Amino acid sequence: MSAHPSRELLERLAGARRVVAFTGAGVSAESGVPTFRTTDGIWTKFKPEELASMEGFMRNPELVWEWYAARKRIMAEVRPNPAHEALARMQALVPHMAVITQNIDGLHHRAGSTLVYELHGSIERNYCMRCGRRHSNDEVLRQTGVPCCLGCGGTVRPDVVWFGEQLPEEEWNNAVHASGMADVFFSVGTSGVVYPAASIPFIALDAGAYIVEVNPEPTPLTEKVHEYLQGPAGSILPVIVHTLDSRKL
């Protein structure tokens, strides 16, 4: 267990053709976005089923929209941190690199990452449950309570994947394909408890990738990885990319 990348990882990364970074809420923690399950996580205040599910939404749409509106306002204020920036830089240094994220905060895109698969949707998108019309955050946040469709008057919901809902098929298929082809696979800032996303690292492991976990805390994946780098992603990932950068000069 170390916070410093091994020579083997750096050698593998320098020669890798296909790299994947799989991220969870922990990669955005240093941007000030609350995680879900660490002691100050947002789930500690609510049960996921109460808020991030169709049942919860139908039961109390006002409460669910109050939660999402608050998160939308937080996400609009936060910025990518050195972890997001390091992954975006890494994408520029390796031939093929995909970022697969469970996060809905859009921070990988804002850090400059090019190929990002958002498995659980995006806090920046909303749609009408009746006609499907898409709505921006400006269009929903200027309305009070549960926003109505500007086209048909139907109920608008966040474009995120709730518990009990299927993941977007194309994003999922792309993520599975990329993970099955990876030479080096990073699992960064995820507790690995939400499925089917949590099965992604095992797809890469079974396909022979060199698996690296970056997390201050061990997870169900830790005992299976080739390299566990214990610590915050915002400190660990820049060291890896700086070393890679200096080799590529």
Q: Which residues are designated catalytic? A: 120
Q: How many CB atoms lie within 10 A of CB 58?
A: 10
Q: Applying CB under 6 A, which of residues 56, 80, 147, 189 lies at the interface with ligand BV8? A: 189
Determine the Cα–Cα distance for residues 238 and 245; give it in Å rounded to an integer: 10
- Site for ligand BV8 contains 163 (CB under 6 A): yes
Name the DSSP class of 195.
T
Amino acid (one-letter) located at 14: A
**Nearer CB in complex with ligand BV8: 142/195:** 195
Shortest distance (Å) from residue 95 CB to ligand BV8:
26
Show the tokens assigned to 24: 């969870």
Shortest distance (Å) from residue 138 CB to ligand BV8:
20
**Nearer CB in complex with ligand BV8: 41/181:** 41
Determine the Cα–Cα distance for residues 173 and 2; give it in Å rounded to an integer: 33
- Site for ligand BV8 contains 126 (CB under 6 A): no
Shortest distance (Å) from residue 249 CB to ligand BV8:
28
H-run or E-run covering 116: strand 116-118
- Kindly report whether the peptide bond that precedes residue 196 is cis, defined as omega within 30 degrees of 0: yes
Instruction: Report phi then psi at 92, rounded to 5.
Output: -80, -15
Residues pairing with 158 in the sheet: 126
H-run or E-run covering 22: strand 18-23
Size of the site for ligand BV8 (CB under 6 A): 36
Stretch that binds ligand BV8, among 99-107, 124-132, 179-187, 222-230 (CB under 6 A): 99-107
Q: Applying CB under 6 A, which of residues 32, 132, 153, 164 lies at the interface with ligand BV8? A: 164
**Nearer CB in complex with ligand BV8: 163/181:** 163
H-run or E-run covering 228: strand 227-229
Dihedral sign for Cα 27, 28, 32, 35, please: negative
- Site for ligand BV8 contains 217 (CB under 6 A): yes
Q: Applying CB under 6 A, which of residues 96, 139, 216, 226 lies at the interface with ligand BV8? A: 216
Stretch that binds ligand BV8, among 1-9, 132-140, 179-187, 227-235 (CB under 6 A): 227-235
3-state secondary structure of 76: helix
Give the footprint of ligand BV8 on this chain (CB under 6 A). 24-26, 29-30, 35-38, 41, 48, 52, 102-104, 120, 160-161, 163-166, 189-191, 193-195, 214-217, 219, 232-234
